[in-house]
Amino acid sequence: MTPISFEFYPPKTDEQRAQLDRAAARLATRSPEYVSCTFGAGGSTLSYTAETVRHLNQHHGFDAAPHLSCVGGNREEIRELLKLYRAIGCRRIVALRGDLPSGMGHPGDLRYAAELVELIRAEHGDRFRIEVAAYPETHPQAEDALADLRHFKAKVDAGADAAITQYFYNADAYFRFVDDARRLGVEVPIVPGIMPISNFTQLRRFSEACGAEIPRWITKRMQAFGDDAVAVREFGADVVADLCRQLVAGGAPGLHFYTLNLARPTEAVLQRLA
């Protein structure tokens, strides 16, 4: 069976905490290999990420990996966090550059994720399994697609064990990216990031910001459903399940679901795959 993993974000209110608990409890029955918890650039969720990871480990029995982004932070802050993650028993880290909120000051001591991977390996050896980000449709700030691919390779050369991709709805972009990476000598697993579709308006807005393309035919079909939430959900789950089938059939080594702390959209996809 293809290994799966789930991504959550750190809740900040009691209501959000209850929502995470509900989603985590339901998704735990799917036996994920691990789960991960995002990290807000600029320090806004610094403590929440560690707290959430600890909760996901202790309360839900997951192997939970904190995301750690280096932008805006200094080496000492990063070292402190790594120490904390070691102390609470984390075995994996998702190492990222992150994005500074617009207009927010200094980029910090480390400019790119490759430097963060280097720091973790230099100071913690093989204590953590390190996942990094990859962009089958190219990172929005990259000079060009090939430069982005080389920068991805630099993270692997610095010691990353595996990659999780930005989400996409075009399987060919993923297969091409993996082929190109292999040609450059990158051998680590490249796990597709899967974004189930629940709120299509929100997804479109978010996709523009992170450079993920929603194919025109999906947008057109979604628009035709209008306010029919059930039709949107069913069609979204069919589309994403088809994508997952293609990816797995084509050799994807796992599926990493962006859950947005909701169980239902991810479950709808997994049910179709069963």
Binding residues vs ligand FAD (CB under 6 A) = 38-39, 41, 67, 69, 94, 96-99, 112-114, 133, 139, 141-142, 147-148, 151, 155, 164, 166, 193
Which listed residue (7, 115, 118, 131) is catalytic? 7
Nearer to ligand FAD (CB atom), residue 193 or residue 265: 193
Phi, psi of 90 (to 5 degrees): -70, 140
Beta strands in 4-63 (DSSP E): 4-8, 34-37
Q: Which of 42, 3, 41, 48 is nearest to 261 (CA)?
A: 48
CA dist 46 and 226 (Å) reads 38
Q: In this structure, is the dihedral angle defined by the CA atoms of residues 223, 226, 231 and 237, taken in order, positive or negative?
A: positive
Q: How far is the CB of 153 from ligand FAD (least distance, A)?
A: 10
Nearer to ligand FAD (CB atom), residue 113 or residue 178: 113
Active site residue 7: yes
Q: How far is the CB of 125 from ligand FAD (least distance, A)?
A: 21
Task: Concatenate the DSSP letters of all residues of 66-134 into one string.
Answer: EEEE-TT--HHHHHHHHHHHHHTT--EEEEE---PPTT-----S--SHHHHHHHHHHHHTTSSEEEEEE
CA dist 202 and 121 (Å) reads 37
Nearer to ligand FAD (CB atom), residue 7 or residue 222: 7
Q: Is 151 helix (H, G, I), strand (E, B) or coil?
A: helix
Q: How far is the CB of 18 from ligand FAD (least distance, A)?
A: 22
Q: How far is the CB of 102 from ligand FAD (least distance, A)?
A: 12
Nearer to ligand FAD (CB atom), residue 159 or residue 233: 159
Nearer to ligand FAD (CB atom), residue 113 or residue 268: 113
Which residues does the annotation mark as catalytic?
A: 7
